[in-house]
Amino acid sequence: MTDELLQRIAECKIVPVVKIDDVADTLPLMKALAAGGIMSAEITFRTACGPDALALAAKECPDMLVGAGTVINKEQAEKAVACGAKFIVGPGFSKEVADVCRAADVLYLPGVVTPTEVMMAIAEGLKVVKFFPAENYGGVKTIKALAGPFPQLKFMPTGGISAENIKGYFETGKVIACGGSWMVKDSLIKAKEFDKITALSKEAMEVVK
């Protein structure tokens, strides 16, 4: 199952990092992304309604690849699985979250920035990790450096990614997809500017094609 999901993420190319403060925004937002050609979303657990938004998106948008983001402990991981998350993303690596994901056959993408963290992920059998916060930790240069001792690993960089720099990440040959929030900014969601989200999504997909 996880290999199949990795293939789908690779096909999606962009995984928007979505922060939802009002559950009512969930479905219009998913539709706006899909209309722009983006068929995935990482709904963060940073807000109180994150789990409810995830459950709603997972149920009502079966064509979208919907996962949970900012998952930092076992309890959140179990909640994410119960809500229907197809994948779970963390800002860092957690052994207990890895255990929950393995038991549930859910893809785990932990955040890493150092060789030691990469080795911890590899020890759990992971093939892809989130590189976060990407731009703060050297971006493309660091991914190339980490690819040397860990040729078997692929990355999903997130943090500071934009339409202006995303192409450089894919050019490393080590990036399966990129996470980003520039097309789903808080201000756009709160103002319900879903047409703008669709337009930014289309632009982003044009860049990565």
Secondary element (H or E) of residue 87? strand 87-89
Q: Which of 13, 79, 86, 130 is catalytic?
A: 130
Q: Which of 42, 79, 86, 154 is catalytic?
A: 42
In the chain, where does DSSP find H-type helix? 2-12, 26-35, 50-60, 74-82, 95-104, 115-123, 139-147, 166-170, 186-190, 194-208
Measured distance CA(170)–CA(180) in Å, rounded: 14
130 is annotated as an active-site residue: yes
Smallest CA-to-CA distance from 72 within 55, 50, 39 is with 50
Smallest CA-to-CA distance from 90 within 114, 73, 115, 66 is with 73
13 is annotated as an active-site residue: no
Q: Which residues pair with 65 in a beta bridge?
A: 40
Smallest CA-to-CA distance from 89 within 62, 80, 207, 36 is with 80
Distance from chain centroid for Cα 199: 20
Active site members: 42, 130
